[in-house]
Amino acid sequence: TRPLRLGEIARVVRDEMERVQVVDLHTHLFPPSHGELMLWGIDDLLTYHYLIAEYFQTAPRAVAPASFFALPKAFQADMIWAALFVQRSPLSEACKGVLTTLEKLGLRQELRARDLSGIRRWFAEQDPDAYCEKVFSLAGVKYCVMTNIPFDPTEAKHWRPAKKSYTRRFRSALRVDPLLKGDWETVSACLTAANYPQTLEGARQYLRDWAETMQPEYLMASTPHDFQYAGKKGNGGSCQSSKDGKKGGQEDMGQGCGVTMIDKSPKGAELLEKVLIPVAEELSLPIAMKLGAHRAVNPSLGTAGDGLVAADVGDLRRLCTAHPQVKFLATFLARVSQHEAAVLANKFPNLHLYGCWWYCNNPSIIREITAMRLEILGTGFTAQHSDARVLDQLIYKWSHSRRVIGEVLAGEYVSLAQTGWKLTREEVRRDVERLLGGAYEEFMQK
């Protein structure tokens, strides 16, 4: 409890950053109980879609994406290893991530020798359950939130008819992208297959029932690049995203109890307003929005072909205004959106910003965004989430982020200390815990 000396601040922040058990509030990870859905090990690390995209930047013309994807995963991994780690220096954040991960797992010798076979042998000896625990403890992650998509049958089978049991390291989030995309075809196919009526009320009941099954932390969706939300009283119950001017279905627009059959497809904003928001409100579940992805910019690359767009931050403002009783978690993909988003979070107590997402999850950008957020929001935001798809990535994503966020925070404390403000280690610990999970949990509870 003694005040820290100026010269001690950087070291204390570094220590506290190293020791804090973080909450990882958005990942694509699955527990070992989910079998093939759990990605881990060197071949999954090397075939991460960030690395596939980087590989194709410079791949020979003769390697067509379709033939690459038809190869066994280990072959794909070999090609990426050769191109990005042997023929070039692995300078990108995604490449360095693989190195940090292996180094922290203790595979230093194999790394030094660039011995991919040796690395594979090591992973082959690991037991998934024990390895999973090892990764969580090495990464210092208290628990992670998964992304659970009921519309995807390969996932749904792990929940119904019987829910798989898994450790407390994993929590659920119910993801509903087809709703925000206005992809009524997918939604109605799922409703039909599960014997729900093809109505808005049918869709709401479907969500309620899945929420009952999954017990999610929140409902979540990423917005399509052309998403527009007009607000509650906008054009026909906020179906502004309807580019072709069609109204969304026969159902009582604007009144919205929605039991009539739908004969035209409702659009994303309408499904948000009439399905997602009412269910969120009814079940007191926050909605996590991810804004700024432009899917399938190069469709031949699959997930690796998704790009970025500067989303309209105004959509989120209109949502927070129209639904003050609903809590929104949000993260933006474009660097240009970050400042406006921080100001918005400063105005709306029902909005919580989290993480440096995907193309922003690079040290230089994390540094800039974190400094700006601290300056505007104090500790009222969540500095990072990993978005890990491969279990082992928790190790590097958190290690890289802890370092940068710590450096930024230390700088802010030094300027505090220069005013004569006295700071203790316990206070540093409190702030660090808040930035890496505590602020999220406080927001969820309020």
Residues of the shown chain interacting with ligand RAT in the complex, contacts defined by CB under 6 A = 28, 49, 222, 290, 293, 303, 306, 358, 387, 389
Distance (Å) of CA 353 to CA 177, 312, 324, 357: 19, 15, 16, 11
CA nearest to 146, candidates 129, 166, 162: 166
Closest CB 368 distance from Zn ion, rounded Å: 21
Closest chain position to ligand RAT (CB): 358
Nearest to ligand RAT of 191, 356 (CB atom)? 356
Closest CB 32 distance from Zn ion, rounded Å: 20
How many C-beta atoms surround the C-beta of residue 154 within 10 A?
11
Query: Of Zn ion, ligand RAT, none, which one does residue 392 interact with (CB within 5 to 8 Å by kind)?
Result: none
Query: Of ligand RAT, Zn ion, none, which one does residue 225 interact with (CB within 5 to 8 Å by kind)?
Result: none
Distance (Å) of CA 157 to CA 54, 104, 153, 213: 33, 34, 6, 12
Closest CB 184 distance from ligand RAT, rounded Å: 20
Closest CB 46 distance from ligand RAT, rounded Å: 15
Nearest to ligand RAT of 122, 358 (CB atom)? 358
Nearest to ligand RAT of 319, 388 (CB atom)? 388
Query: Of ligand RAT, Zn ion, none, which one does residue 222 interact with (CB within 5 to 8 Å by kind)?
Result: ligand RAT
Query: Of ligand RAT, Zn ion, none, which one does residue 389 interact with (CB within 5 to 8 Å by kind)?
Result: ligand RAT
When asked if residue 24 is in the footprint of Zn ion (CB under 5 A), the reply is no
Closest CB 413 distance from ligand RAT, rounded Å: 31
When asked if residue 306 is in the footprint of Zn ion (CB under 5 A), the reply is no
Query: Of ligand RAT, Zn ion, none, which one does residue 303 interact with (CB within 5 to 8 Å by kind)?
Result: ligand RAT
Nearest to Zn ion of 270, 387 (CB atom)? 387
Nearest to ligand RAT of 225, 290 (CB atom)? 290
Closest CB 48 distance from ligand RAT, rounded Å: 8
Closest CB 311 distance from ligand RAT, rounded Å: 13
Write phi, then psi, for 302 (nearest 5 degrees). Answer: 65, -140
Write phi, then psi, for 202 (nearest 5 degrees). Answer: -60, -45
Nearest to ligand RAT of 230, 301 (CB atom)? 301
Contacts of 184 (CB under 8 A, 6+ apart): 262, 265, 266, 271
Q: Mark residues 366-395: x for contact with Zn ion by CB under 5 A, - for none.
A: ---------------------x--------
Closest CB 380 distance from ligand RAT, rounded Å: 23
